[in-house]
Amino acid sequence: MQGRVVLGIESSCDETGAGLVRDGKLLGHAVASSMAEHARYGGVVPEIAARAHVHSFNPVVQQALDRAGLTMSDIGAVAVTTGPGLSGALQVGLAGAKGIAYALDVPLYGVHHLAGHVAADTLEHGPLPEPCMVLIVSGGHTSLLLVRDLVRDPILHLGDTLDDAAGECFDKVARVFGLPYPGGPAIDRAARDGNRKAVAFPRPLTGTRDERHRFAFSFSGLKTAAARWSEQHRAEGRDLPVADGAASLQEAVADVLTRKAVDACREHDVSTLVVVGGVAANSRVRELAEQRCRSAGITLRVPPLGLCTDNGAMIAAVGDLLVRSGAEPAPLDLSIDPSAPLTYAALTPAARTPASAAA
């Protein structure tokens, strides 16, 4: 017998996403982005993002349904990102999701955005092996996680960033280099024509003295080093070799991320590494992860590009796992949690299964 069709809603930042998943299979999804509206401010403006979600919510849900060849009445459950993220933006998605769940009289689940990034990979590569190592790299987070059952067990953080996230480093340095927003894809493009050995940028927290922070990250020093390098050129009246700077910065970030992830797999005897989040779309991160995993005998899983950045399919994927694990739905007075820590995939205590609640 077929399971329920789960509608997933994502609105934590500047993308409005809706996705439909049943029994681990992606049926269709759609994303609208307000990125262009933020570009001239050099970063996401929360009020603009929230207003854009209001405009995009209905069309995006309809587009996802059309792509899946389904109608509203086929939806059997609704999952929605309730945190972390921008509060106004989260509110819009949650209000819309509640409306649909209430109107259709179907269960509602609150989902942690980062658990969504992890689950995105299951839509392409099937269930995650237990345990697996997850490197999550987005605009706001950089963490190494030991994941067992994604929706039943607590998620173990081996290390997090002590300051900036990897994506944030790309975004800020891109601005200094005069590249457009969002900076990550712009650095990736500029780096194609550059020499990654041109500038010896630092590799933060990789020295022997950093043993305590073996699996933690720090990108703010790297950001400062790139800014200094750029200022020096300008002060000396020289043109900035942007391609070389971009390639060298990208190399430093990719080197640190993949080195620590592979070390974590070795130390914890885990044979699968999953790299997720917006920065998993970076070509050098993907390439270096592949090379290093291959030589270490580790299986690497990275979601397809379209599922790396924010989307509704990944939230539906978590919802589908929650439904199939028999998790309790959330009450309709579910609220947002803009700074939710990643401990459980579901963001309401009630939505955890009894087994995990006891863990």
Which residues are part of a known binding site? 113, 117, 136-140, 171, 184, 188, 282, 310
SS (H, E, C) the chain: CCCCEEEEEECCCCEEEEEEEECCEEEEEEEEECHHHHHCCCCCCHHHHHHHHHHHHHHHHHHHHHHHCCCHHHEEEEEEEEECCCHHHHHHHHHHHHHHHHHHCCCEEEEEHHHHHHHHHHHHHCCCCCCEEEEEECCCCEEEEEECCCCCCCCEEEEEECCCCHHHHHHHHHHHCCCCCCHHHHHHHHHCCCCCCCCCCCCCCCCHHHHHHCCCECCHHHHHHHHHHHHHHHHCCCCCCHHHHHHHHHHHHHHHHHHHHHHHHHHCCCCEEEEECHHHHCHHHHHHHHHHHHHHCCEEECCCHHHHCCCCHHHHHHHHHHHHCCCCCCCCCCCCCCCCCCCCCECCHHHCCHHHHHC
Task: Report the partner that residue 121 touches, choosing among ligand KG4, Zn ion, none (CB closer than 5 to 8 A by kind).
Answer: none
Binding-site residue ranges for Fe cation:
113, 117, 310
Interaction between residue 282 and ligand KG4 (CB under 6 A): yes
Please identify, using beta-carbon distances, which residue of 76 and 171 lies nearer to ligand KG4. 171
CB of 42 or CB of 140, closer to ligand KG4: 140
Question: Among ligand KG4, Zn ion, none, what binds residue 279 when CB lies within 5 to 8 Å by partner kind?
Answer: ligand KG4
Q: Work out how close the CB of 183 gets to ligand KG4 at its nearest, in angstroms, rounded to a whole number.
A: 5
Measured from the CB atom, the residue of 277 and 319 that comes closer to ligand KG4 is 277
Smallest separation (angstroms) from ligand KG4 to the CB of 180: 11
Q: Measured from the CB atom, is 14 or 310 closer to Zn ion?
A: 310
Structure tokens at 71: 């109608």
Interface of this chain with ligand KG4, residues 307 to 326, rule: CB under 6 A: 309-310
Binding test (CB under 6 A) with ligand KG4, winner from 56, 91, 122, 138: 138
Q: Is 251 in the site for ligand KG4 (CB under 6 A)?
A: no
Contact segment (CB under 6 A) with ligand KG4 among 22-30, 132-140, 296-304, 343-351 equals 132-140
- Residue 140 binding ligand KG4, by CB under 6 A: yes
Report whether 210 contacts 162 (CB < 8 A). no
Which one, 275 or 281, has the nearer CB to ligand KG4?
A: 281
Interface residue with ligand KG4 among 279, 307, 334, 345 (CB under 6 A) is 279
Could you tell me the smallest distance in angstroms from the CB atom of residue 314 to Zn ion? 8
Residue 318 to residue 151: CA distance in whole angstroms: 7
The stretch among 18-26, 36-44, 59-67, 180-188 that binds ligand KG4 (CB under 6 A) is 180-188
Q: Which stretch binds ligand KG4 (CB under 6 A): 3-11, 232-240, 273-281, 324-332?
A: 273-281
The binding site for ligand KG4 (CB under 6 A) comprises 13, 138-140, 167, 170-171, 182-185, 188, 277-279, 281-282, 309-310
